[in-house]
Amino acid sequence: MIQQTLLDELMTLVEPGKVLTDPASLETYGRDWTKHYPPAPSAIVFPKTVEQVQAIVRWANAHTIALVPSGGRTGLSAAAVAANGEVVVAFDYMNQILDFNGTDRTVVCQPGVITEQLQNFAEGKGLYYPVDFASAGSSQIGGNIGTNAGGIKVIRYGMTRNWVAGLKVVTGKGDVLELNKDLLKNATGYDLRHLFIGAEGTLGFIVEATMRLERQPNNLTAMVLGTPDFNSIMPVLHAFQNKMDLTAFEFFSDQGLDKLLARGDIPAPFETRTPFYALLEFEATTETRAEQALATFEHCVEQGWVIDGVMSQSETQLRNLWRLREDLSETIAPFTPYKNDLSVTVSKVPAFLADIDAIVTTNYPDFEVIWYGHIGDGNLHLNILKPENLSKDTFFAKCANVNKWVFETVERYNGSISAEHGVGMTKRDYLTYSRSEAEIAYMKAIKAVFDPNGIMNPGKIFH
Ligand code: 2HG
Ligand code: ZN
């Protein structure tokens, strides 16, 4: 824990009342959505300006105090967990949209702007911020950039990285850098902006971000299609992709649907139950486009890839169909799931999923496995539910074995041990399954340049 005199010094760097040390705040701001690491920060500090962030970083360097960035704390890799007496730097009071440029279609955001706030702002301007996921109502832009957040529209719009036009950062050394200055074209050497995207706060703090906006999508329409087995999902993807641009292509299993329907507040997509479901979305710009989608659906039925299906006819139906996929994570949270977030190239998905599924079901036939994810991106979320009669410790000990087998399979397929949730603390011991020793050495060398005293979110990504 940090000496009181140092905390007194920290208090002089921000506005009165903006350093908290009460147990409730330490508990709240010391953790993210992962539940494995008990939070134990020394204090929470809330800067309001770039200068205050810079002063905090200089103070931390002078006294070698570890800092942990904190946004909406919706992360699933413990990248924003302070478990070792660190000072948490929370961006709740740097939550303003500072500027908008309709010609460049850019918005300047402070890091604490909530994702949904940016989405709504864009809508108000007749435009669209396309990065979207279930936690958009709480996650913050700074955290999205720090983790290169993905979500449900990646197949069409890419990850957060694609939407960052420029960044202002405070490096671990305390320097303020303006990266890329919002340019579309800029061929002047290393693009340091991209190092900060997905760095999980290990190089410095994002203190301002210019985000790009897009034209609004036209009459978004979703289909949920029931398939007889997993192997039928990919031909469905290809059949639709040959005919139209999809804005999403997701999947979930019937076990997942079971859990959702048990809530009683989400309608079933159709009466027939099938082992898997694909959820796809497209812009029904014209009637012909919608007819094309229906014809493709019929083709998939003829081929035996699809058993039943539904197409949204209204905004409400669109929203309800999306809930079948988007509400899954929250719905299964009470079952203390073991979670994993994996990716391979799209062509490898069927063989990869079959291998992983076999590993889990052969070794732990009693465990309930819930599959869902952004399958059009090659991104699968593996969730295993804790059997009621098993203690949490025994369950997670057994899952540690699963981890090793799963990651060995990921390595064999040249996949990623984290598609979109990040490394943080939960995956740092497994990084070598996705990155070579040489690559990790270069990553550590880069960190040392930006953060020579190792004060920026230490212990995240690697030890
Ligand atoms: C999603 O796609 C989120 O719903 C959470 O990335 C995934 O809970 C999960 O495993
Ligand atoms: Zn996801």
Q: What is the CATH number of the domain that holds 306?
A: 3.30.70.2190
- CA dist., res. 41 & res. 171, Å (int): 21
Residue 230 lies in a domain: yes
Q: Does 127 lie in the same domain as 23?
A: no
**How confident is the model over 198-222, as a mean pLDDT?**
98
Residue 261 lies in a domain: yes
Instruction: Tell me which ligand sits closest to the C-alpha of residue 426.
Output: 1
Among all chains, which residue has been given the structure tokens 């005199």?
A: 5
Query: What is the H or E stretch that residue 410 is in?
Result: helix 392-412
Q: Does 83 lie in the same domain as 14?
A: yes
Say how many CA atoms lie within 13 Å of 43 toward its Cβ. 22
Q: Does 379 lie in the same domain as 298?
A: no
Residues 88-106: tens digit of each pLDDT: 999 999 999 999 999 999 9
79 has pLDDT over 90: yes
- CA dist., res. 152 & res. 156, Å (int): 9
Residue 452 lies in a domain: no
**How confident is the model over 195-202, as a mean pLDDT?**
98
Domain C-terminal end among 215, 237, 260: 215
The mean pLDDT of the chain is 97
DSSP 93: T
Label residue 248 left, alpha or beta by phi (over 0 means left) and psi (-120 to 50 means alpha): beta
Residue 151 lies in a domain: yes
- What is the structure's pLDDT at 144? 98
Ligand 1 centroid to residue 377 C-alpha, Å: 14
The set of residues, in sequence order, having a beta carbon less than 8 Å from that of 170 and lying 6+ positions away, is 50, 53, 54, 57, 176, 204, 205, 207
**How confident is the model over 119-135, as a mean pLDDT?**
98
Specify the pTM.
0.97
Ligand 1 centroid to residue 175 C-alpha, Å: 35
What is the atom index within ligand 1 of the atom nearest the CA of 374? 2
Give the CA angle between residues 93, 98, 104 to the nearest 5°. 145
- CA dist., res. 240 & res. 246, Å (int): 8
- What is the structure's pLDDT at 323? 98
**Is residue 317 very low, low, confident or very high in pLDDT (cuts 50, 70, 90)?**
very high
Ligand 1 centroid to residue 259 C-alpha, Å: 15
Residue 451 lies in a domain: no
116 has pLDDT over 90: yes
Q: Does 348 lie in the same domain as 241?
A: no
77 has pLDDT over 90: yes
- What is the structure's pLDDT at 136? 98
Secondary structure class of 156 (helix, strand, coil): helix
**Is residue 363 very low, low, confident or very high in pLDDT (cuts 50, 70, 90)?**
confident
Domain C-terminal end among 90, 114, 135: 90
Which residues lie with the beta carbon below 6 Å from any ligand 1 atom? 134, 328-329, 339, 381, 383
Q: Does 349 lie in the same domain as 301?
A: no
Instruction: Tell me which ligand sits closest to the C-alpha of residue 135.
Output: 1
Question: What is the domain range of residue 361?
Answer: 336-423+430-438
Domain C-terminal end among 199, 215, 231: 215
Residue 448 lies in a domain: no
Residue 183 lies in a domain: yes
In the chain, % of residues over pLDDT 70: 100
Least Cα distance to 199 among 439, 422, 432 occurs for 422
CATH of the domain at 164: 3.30.465.10
- What is the structure's pLDDT at 186? 98
Q: Does 340 lie in the same domain as 323?
A: no
- CA dist., res. 108 & res. 210, Å (int): 4
Q: Does 324 lie in the same domain as 225?
A: yes
Residue 116 lies in a domain: yes
For 75-113, b/e burial (b = at least 16 CB within 10 A) is bbbbbbbbbeebbbbbbbbbbebeebeeeebbbbbbbbb
Beta carbons of 373 and 416 less than 8 angstroms apart: no
**How confident is the model over 175-182, as a mean pLDDT?**
98
Number of Cβ within 10 Å of residue 39's Cβ equals: 19
* Mutate which of 147, 341, 417, 420 for ligand 1 pocket (most atoms within 8 A of beta carbon): 341
Helices (H), 64-126: 115-124
Ligand 1 centroid to residue 44 C-alpha, Å: 28
163 has pLDDT over 90: yes
Q: Does 211 lie in the same domain as 225?
A: no
- What is the structure's pLDDT at 36? 85
Number of Cβ within 10 Å of residue 437's Cβ equals: 8
Ligand 1 centroid to residue 453 C-alpha, Å: 34
CATH of the domain at 391: 3.30.70.2740
Least Cα distance to 208 among 49, 92, 59 occurs for 49
Q: What tokens were used for 411?
A: 């390595």
Q: Does 367 lie in the same domain as 317?
A: no
Q: Does 106 lie in the same domain as 206?
A: yes
**Is residue 364 very low, low, confident or very high in pLDDT (cuts 50, 70, 90)?**
confident
Determine which residue's CA is closest to atom 10 belonging to ligand 1: 381
* Mutate which of 133, 338, 370 for ligand 1 pocket (most atoms within 8 A of beta carbon): 133
How many folded domains does the chain comprise? Answer: 4
Q: What tokens were used for 339?
A: 């979670």
Q: Does 386 lie in the same domain as 283?
A: no
Q: Does 243 lie in the same domain as 211?
A: no
